[in-house]
Amino acid sequence: MDKVELPPALAEAASSFSRYLTGERARSAHTVRAYLSDLGSLLEHAAAEGARELAEIELGTLRRWLGAQSEAGISRSTLARRSATARTFTAWALREELIETDPALRLKAPKVEGSLPGVLQQQQLVRLLTELNEAAQDGSPMALRNRAMVELLYATGLRVGELAGLDIDDLDPDRRTLRVLGKGNKERTVPYGLPAALAVDDWLRRGRTKLVAAGSGPALFLGVRGGRVDQRQVRSVVKGLFEALGDTAATGPHALRHSAATHLLDGGADLRAVQEILGHSSLATTQIYTHVSVDRLRKSYQQAHPRA
């Protein structure tokens, strides 16, 4: 569909919704962009059908919008996300008294088949971290930084954005914990182990001091020019490391987060403790996000079943 110019009422509603997301809901810039992209698609579809006011958007409008995208080959996960965006938007519009009834109340999203990012086996992580240790022996600031970032990602299960946003003062080296600001501006405290502590300390002593610049501020991890490292740089580093392993389907930092959660559960960690570490608001999210390995399942069966 060619891009449709939105009528003034729909354009103003989109602008107000954007202010709501960034203000009251305190959504991240990435989340706001995704919401507004989905909403733009919906409003353009509605305008193409002749809608000029929000009240003219009906359940049928929403269903035809999703149906057209499904026919265009949009994935079920994206359709589910866009359906959620529509429900969030119309619920907001109802509270703001921009509409009298919520057309999305009976809108059903396609069920998303659960998929998990690649999980590294512990021996793969040993190889990866050993290579990072060897690379850091020459004292290269980038090598020291990369080792510290990966050690910390695996030790804590942080999201890549959370890692990039860390400041030096967020670390408590004595207790080996860090303070992290997660989704929805929710703060949590996460522990990390000795290898990560040593790698971070080495980076601070021998690496960061060589890169720090006037604009570095309190950022824990820096780029080559001294600015705060960004998510793209972290993803690029991790992607290269996984490609070098050559025997994993893992592609990005999220696999380290998932690996950390999986290995915690395999080691006997309580599911609610893992939920707290990962910063999930719902235990159901943790249950979907993590899985029980075959080894752990077999061990539980052998311990519990009388005929094992």
Q: Using DSSP, state whether 133 is helix, strand or coil.
A: helix
Q: Is the pLDDT of residue 243 over 80?
A: yes
Q: Tokens representing 209?
A: 């001091």
The CATH class given to the 122-301 domain equals: mainly alpha
pLDDT at 162: 95
Q: Is the pLDDT of residue 236 over 90?
A: yes
117 in Cβ contact with 255 (< 8 Å): yes
Average pLDDT over residues 10-22: 92
Residue type at 62?
Answer: L
pTM greater than 0.75 (yes/no): no
Q: For residue 132, what pLDDT band results from cuts at 50, 70 and 90?
A: very high
Q: What angle do CA 92, 98, 103 make, to 5 degrees?
A: 65
282: left (phi > 0), else alpha (psi -120 to 50), else beta? beta
pLDDT at 123: 87
Q: How far, in Å, are 139, 292, 308 from residue 304 at the CA level?
A: 50, 16, 8
The ranges assigned to domains in the chain are 8-95, 122-301
Average pLDDT over residues 14-28: 82
Average pLDDT over residues 140-152: 96
Q: How far apart are CA 137 and CA 148, in angstroms?
A: 13
pLDDT at 80: 84
Catalytic residues: 159, 183, 254, 257, 280, 289
pLDDT at 1: 47
Q: How far apart are CA 43 and CA 236, in angstroms?
A: 35
